[in-house]
A and B are shown apart, each in its own frame.
Chain A
Amino acid sequence: MLNELRNKAETAFKANGFPTTKEELWRFTDVSRVASAEFSNDWKTSDLEFQPLDKITVVFENGKLSREKSNFDDLPKGVCIGSILDLVDPRIGTLADAQSAFVSSNTAYFSDGAFIEVTDGTKFETPIHLVFLADVDGAAFHLRNFISAGVDSEVTVIEEYIGQSGATYWTNVVTEAFVADQGFVDHYKVQRESATSFHFQTLEAHLGTGSVFSNHAVTFGSALGRNDIRGKLTGEEGEAICNGLYLLKDKQHFDTHMFMDHAVPKCNSHELYKGILDDKSRAVFCGRILVQEDAQETDAIQSNGNLLLSRGAKVNTLPQLEIYADDVKCTHGATIGELDEVGLYYLQTRGIDPVKGRAMLTFAFANEVLDEVKCKVAKAYIEGLVHEWLEQVEK
C-alpha cells in the first residue's frame, strides 16, 4: 500500500514540479534555488554532536535512523517508538496535503523517519527527543515522521534539526500527527540547520474531540526555509496551540504558512508568532484561519510580532481570517517594529549599558513565546539557544 502511495506521489511530483512565485501560497518565497539544484544520495555516519534532552533520544544521521546513537529501548507498555520503515499504520500519507511538491517529493523519496505511537489511556511524561543530523554536503534528506496519540493519552515530542556549518543540503520533512479524542500532543521543533542549507517541513495535525495539539516551532537555521503548519479540528472542544519564534540574520529567508481549519463547533486555536530579524534577513508569515459554517463558538486568536534589528531586514505578514459561522470570537494582529528606545534609555539610567540593554529587550520580546512552553527541558534548552543567538548578533 505504501509503495502504491509512493509511486503515485512520484508521478505527481514529476508532473507538477516545484511551485513558483506566481502561486499565491508561494508569492514571497522563491524555491528556484532548491528546484534547480542537483542533490545526491550520498551517505555517511555523522560527525555532529548533540545534547540529549532527556532519557529518550531517536537519532537520524543523514536521513537514516542510527540505533547506535539512539536510546529508546526501555519503553513502558503502550509506547511504541521506531523507524517509519519498520512500523505500519494505514493513516500514513492520508493527512499531508498531496498537492504540495514538498509533500509529494517527500512521500516518494523519504529514506526514514520516526514512528511514535502512544495507545489509548497512556500518558508518557518523558519527552521523546528526535535528533536529525545533517553533514553530507550536497545531499537531500527526505524524512517522514508519524505521531499517533490514542484516546486520553499524552506524549511530548521534540524534533531537533542540526546541520554542519557550511554544508549545503536540503532537508524536506513531513510530520503527520493524529491526536485522538481527549489526547494531548505537546510538540516542539528546534531548527538549527546550517546557514547554507534549505529546510522545509510540512506539519499536519488532526485533532479529535476534546484533544489538544500544542506546537512550538523555533527557527535559527537554514538559508531558505519554510514551515507549513496545518491543523484540522474535527471534534468539538479541540484546541490547537501553534506558537513560534524565528531568529534570522545575514540573508536568511524563512517562511511560516499556517492553516487552521475549524470544521466543528467549540474549538480553540491560538497562534503567537514572533520574529527577530537582523541584517538583510527576510521573514514571511501567513496565518490563515478557516471557520466553516458549522464551527459556531470558535475561539481563534492569532498574532505575529516582528522586531527588526536592521534597516535591511524585511517581513511580509499576512493574517487571513475566513469566517463562515456567525457566533465566533476571532482576532488577529501583526506588528513590525524596532526596539523601544525609551525602554533602552530606562535600562541605561539603571546602569545597564546599551549593548546589554538591547540584548535584554530583545530577549524579552522573544520570551513571550517561550512563556507558554510546558516542557521544562525544552524551555531551558530553547532559552539557552536564544541567548546564544542574541550574543552572536550583538557582537
Chain B
Amino acid sequence: MALLEIKDLHASVADKPILKGINLTIKPGEVHAIMGPNGSGKSTLSNVLAGNEAYVKTAGQVLFDGQDIDDLAAHERACAGMFLAFQYPVEIAGISNMYFLKAAVNAVRKYQGKDQLDAMDFLDMVEDKKKIVKIRDDLLERAVNSGFSGGEKKRNEIFQMAMLEPKLGILDETDSGLDIDALRIVADGVNALRSPDRGFLVITHYQRLLDYIVPDHVHVLVHGQIVKSGGKELALELEDEGYASWVDEKGA
C-alpha cells in the first residue's frame, strides 16, 4: 500500500487558489523531492498535508497510510506518523525542549496504543537519538527553539523527527539558511533515518540538498502543478537550466 497518495489536490490560501491538481504517490522506503521556484506552492503543499487550518483543501483526495486526511486533525496526522520539519521552526518561550518532546513522544505513543515512556526510558531514548544530529545537551534544556541559531533550529527539527519515529517525514525547505557544514549534519541525520518502511518528501528550491539526501524521484512544481517527474538526474538538469523554461511556458 502507498504511504501517501495525493489525487488531484487543489488548495487555497485566503481564497486564493495555490495548488491546482497535484498527483503524487509515495511508497514506503522512497524519497521524493519536490523542487520549484518561489511561489510555486511548495510550502502550501507541506502545510495542507500537515493540517494547517490556514491552508484549505478545496478538491481532490489525500490518503495517508490508507486513511483520508480529511478525517484527521493536525495532531492526529502527527500521531498517525506524519512529521513536518518546518522551514521556520517556531520558538516557544517557557517550555523546555525536553518537556515538549516528552509530551509529544507520549502523545504519539498513546495514539498508537503503546505504553507511555517514564522519565528513565525517555532519557535513554534521548541519549540514543541525539547522536543522529549531534545536538548539544544545553539546547535540550533550553526553551523550545528560543535563542537557537538557524542551524540549531533545523537540527532540532530532525532530532524531533528521530524521537517521533514517523512513517513519513516532510522536509519543508530544510536547507534554507544553512551553511554547508550545517546542511551536511542535517542531511546525515535524515539519511540515518531512512529505512524500508519510512518515506520522505523533501521540498526544496535548490538542488544542493539533493547532493546529500539523494532522492528516488524528483518532481518539478510550477504554478501549483507538477509539470515534470523523473529520477534524481532531473534535479541536476534543473540546476543547469533553472525553472525559467517552465515559468515562461506558463506565461507567468
A interface residues with partner B (beta carbon < 8 Å): 342-343, 345-354, 356-357, 360-361, 363-368
Contact = CB atoms under 8 A, between A and B. Distances in A.
4 closest cross-chain pairs (CB), A and B: A364-B94, A350-B104, A346-B90, A348-B74
Contacts of B73: 348, 353-354
B75 to A, nearest CB: 4
Interface of B: 50-53, 73-75, 77-79, 83-84, 86, 89-90, 92-95, 100, 103-105, 107-108, 111, 143, 160, 164
A346 B92 contact: yes
Given A346-B86, A346-B89, A351 B94 contact: no
Nearest to A352: B107
B93 A368 contact: yes
A361 B90 CA distance: 12
Given A345-B74, A348-B73, A367-B94, A353 B89 contact: no
Given A346-B92, A351-B108, A368-B94, A360 B78 contact: no
Contact of A349 (B74, B95, B100, B103): B74
Contacts of A352: 75, 103-104, 107
Contacts of B79: 351
Contact of B111 (A345, A351, A360, A368): A351
A114 to B, nearest CB: 34
A353 B107 contact: yes
B90 A351 contact: no
Report which residue of A346, A360, A363 has the largest number of chain B beta carbons within 10 angstroms of its beta carbon. A346
A343 B92 contact: yes
Nearest to B145: A346
Contacts of A342: 90
A366 B160 CA distance: 25
Report which residue of A347, A350, A357 has the largest number of chain B beta carbons within 10 angstroms of its beta carbon. A350
B94 A363 contact: yes
Contact of A350 (B52, B53, B100): B100
B115 to A, nearest CB: 16
B106 to A, nearest CB: 9
